[in-house]
Amino acid sequence: MILTVTLNPSIDVSYPLDHLKIDTVNRVKTVRKTAGGKGLNVSRVIHLLDHDITATGFIGGYFGKWLENQLDHDGIAHNFFPIDAETRSSIAVLHDGGKQTEILEAGPTIAPEDASAFLDHFDKLLDQTDLLTISGSMPQGLPEDYYTQMIAHAGAKNVKVLLDTSGATLKSALEAPVKPLLIKPNEEELAGLLNRSVDKTDYATLKQALTDPIFDGVDWIVVSLGSAGAFVKHQDKFYHAAIPKIQVVNPVGSGDSTLAGLAIGIHDGKSDEDIMKTAMTTGMLNTMEAETGFVNPAKFAEYFAKVTIETY
């Protein structure tokens, strides 16, 4: 099975408003609440494409229960580690013709004993896992190398790891002896890692950036480029995955959907070309839906056929 990690899940609340009024009352008629956090977007897309997944991470309180019920309702298997603190919620106000104002809670602080007990819980799940995805930032209280420790646990059990994070946690994972199989940095994250700016429209510069020794030992590097598709390194091969022009409804979560596609393609042992085509298709299908981290599987074949891969 595929195991997805969301250490800091969230109830994502969206409030659509014609106009956001400051310093007074705003009343909303329709409220949408979903199980969120980047890893849960990944989970939903993998599940929608008919693959076995289990979601894990830390969960707590009444909000945590609500979130687990929501996953049950969606048919997504989960095995979270319970903590005493309440799971967070994140509010997005969609207003004034396309503006999005977000209020994000930091979420619970993980106690050292919970951090250590989670690794035992995680080890048991790894026994039934072929491929692991780790997404997003970490909750407070965990050491910077916590993902790195998880990757080492996965490596000891020959589980492939796809890592989608940034900053110090990504840097720590790249410096460790056991590397993730795949990382998915964007332009900003690449610049942060390399200490210089990287122009994502210049593929020669991108290619050079991805050959930096900091990435040695990482099999796959996927730099997603929004409507321009993605620039990809797999071992010593470089590719540009090009996508057709589509009608974008909501691009939030497309990076997570791309990771879901990569997970499915790699899990199923597909060719490089098909792995990239799957990932571009899941990314595109997500942008075509109002719901975040959601794809319509009925459109998969049509859009898969429209992705083109060039070696670079």
Binding residues for ligand ADP (CB under 6 A): 186, 224-227, 229-230, 243, 246, 248, 251, 254-255, 258, 280, 283-284, 287
Nearer to ligand ADP, 112 or 244 (CB): 244
Nearer to ligand ADP, 121 or 299 (CB): 299
Q: Work out the number of other CB atoms within 10 angstroms of the CB of residue 25.
A: 5
- What's the distance, CA 261 to chain centroid? 11
CA 241-164-204 angle, to 5 degrees, is 40
Report the nearest approach of ligand ADP to the CB of residue 256 (Å).
Answer: 7
Report the nearest approach of ligand ADP to the CB of residue 164 (Å).
Answer: 8
Residues 6+ apart with CB under 8 A from 277: 241, 265, 304, 307, 309
- The gap between the terminal CA atoms of the chain, to the nearest Å, is 33
Nearer to ligand ADP, 138 or 225 (CB): 225
Report the nearest approach of ligand ADP to the CB of residue 100 (Å).
Answer: 14
Q: What is the largest CA-CA distance in the chain?
A: 57
Q: Which pair of tokens denotes residue 156?
A: 């000891």
Nearer to ligand ADP, 56 or 186 (CB): 186
Report the nearest approach of ligand ADP to the CB of residue 286 (Å).
Answer: 6
CA dist 76 and 212 (Å) reads: 38
Q: Which pair of tokens denotes residue 238?
A: 């470089």
CA 125-131-136 angle, to 5 degrees, is 85
Report the nearest approach of ligand ADP to the CB of residue 272 (Å).
Answer: 16
**3-state SS, residue 33:** strand
Nearer to ligand ADP, 227 or 271 (CB): 227
Report the nearest approach of ligand ADP to the CB of residue 181 (Å).
Answer: 18
Tally helices (H) and strands (E) across the chain. 10, 16
Helix axes 61-74, 38-48, angle to 10 degrees: 20
Q: Which residue is nearest to ligand ADP (CB)?
A: 255
Nearer to ligand ADP, 38 or 160 (CB): 38
Nearer to ligand ADP, 141 or 226 (CB): 226
Q: What is the 3-state secondary structure (H, E, C) of 152-166?
A: HHHHHCCCEEEEECC
Report the nearest approach of ligand ADP to the CB of residue 159 (Å).
Answer: 23
Report the nearest approach of ligand ADP to the CB of residue 60 (Å).
Answer: 27
Nearer to ligand ADP, 143 or 244 (CB): 244
**3-state SS, residue 203:** helix
CA dist 280 and 109 (Å) reads: 35
